[in-house]
Amino acid sequence: MAHADDPVLLAGGTDLMVAVNGRRRNPGTFVSLRHAADLTGLSADVDTVRIGAMTSYAELAARPPELATLPMLADLAGRLGTPAQRNAGTIGGGVGSARWNGDAIAALVALGARLDLVTATGSRELAIEDWLDRERRGGTDVLRSILVRVPTGPQVWLRVAERATAAEASATCALVVDVQRRTVRCVIGSVARSPIRALAAEALLTDALDWTRPVAGAALCRDFGRAVRREVVARTTYRVGAEHRRHLAGVLAGRALTRALGEAATAQGIA
């Protein structure tokens, strides 16, 4: 999970071995983290969940009790990749490889995750957004666990791809509303080099909501989606154009808000 090219840390292989097979990487030394006990397991206290870096997506998708307060991560883990990829792939590996269209990264940014890193001299914590800035990573640091402060409100993760399985997302949207702290985080993934926080849309929603009874009507959901679309600067790949990605981002954001705080959702006591 350190980004130094050699030696390279092996944390599942679903990204790294693809690069090795394709001869895009040729590490002289692999350091397997499969049996590193410090990097496994989940724990939860009153307001924070700690996820060991080597926790597989299959483990997260099985909805262990420690993950009960972060259903968005369990949803995500159960939907990304194939069954075999979910068995082998780890959330720490996903953070470490930090692929532009990795599904977990955007959701972790929306959750405001912090990374617990083992350094050459001890340990340190780093916001995941800072990890995405290669300059701030630290070449020899090893990701031990991911720390998430539990939000007091709805969390929604939506994904659109050419097919449901084994296809990179054309866009994802992670929306986290923290009612107690009166904050909103909306992150669009798989559209650009790094996840995009839709800050203006977040501000629009934060101002528009009645935080004593946060409900988003249809007009607000539509306006929120449009605001997200305006903020997204997307890339074109050979299958999905930038404009289409922006469109998808707006649609997903509007749907995510409807699902999180729409009248039907709040009437059912979801929010």
Partner 1 sequence: MSLALTVDGVPYEVPDVPGNANLADVLRHHLGLTATKDACYEGRCGSCSVLLGGVLVTSCTVLAADVTEPVVTAAGVGDVAGPSDVQRALVEAGGVQCGFCIPGMVMAATDLLARNPDPTEDDVRRGLAGNLCRCTGYGRIVEAVLTAARGRAST
- Of 36, 87, 215, 247, the residue at the interface with partner 1 (CB under 8 A) is 87
Is residue 83 near partner 1 by the rule CB under 8 A? yes
The site string for partner 1 over 22-51 (x = CB under 8 A, - otherwise) reads x---xxxxx-x-x-----------------
Query: Cβ of residue 78: shortest distance to partner 1, in angstroms?
Result: 9
Q: Can residue 237 be called a binding residue for partner 1 (CB under 8 A)?
A: no
Instruction: Return all residues near 211 (Cβ < 8 A) that are at least 6 apart.
Output: 179, 182
The CB-of-244 to partner 1 minimum distance in angstroms stands at 22
Among 1, 2, 9, 14, binds partner 1 (CB under 8 A): 14
Restricting to residues 105-164, name those near partner 1 by CB under 8 A: 164
CB 82, min distance to partner 1, A: 3
Residue 85 binds partner 1 (CB under 8 A)? yes
What is the three-state SS of the chain? CCCCCCCEEECCCCCHHHHHHCCCCCCCCEEECCCCHHHCCEEECCCEEEEECCCEHHHHHCCCHHHCCCHHHHHHHHHCCCHHHHHHCEHHHHHHHCCCCCHHHHHHHHCCCEEEEECCCCEEEEEHHHHCCHHHCCCCCEEEEEEEECCCCCEEEEEEECCCCCCCEEEEEEEEEECCCCEEEEEEECCCCCCEECHHHHHHHHHHCCCCCCCECHHHHHHHHHHHHHHCCCCCCCCCCHHHHHHHHHHHHHHHHHHHHEHHHHHCCCC
190 binds partner 1 (CB under 8 A): no
Cβ distance to partner 1 smaller for residue 84 or 199: 84
CB of residue 195 to partner 1, shortest distance in Å: 23
Q: How far is the CB of 215 from partner 1 (least distance, A)?
A: 33
In the bound state with partner 1, the residue whose beta carbon lies nearer, of 20 and 208, is 20
CB of 131 to partner 1, least distance (A): 23
Rule CB under 8 A: which residues touch partner 1? 10, 13-14, 17-18, 20-22, 26-30, 32, 34, 81-85, 87-88, 164-166
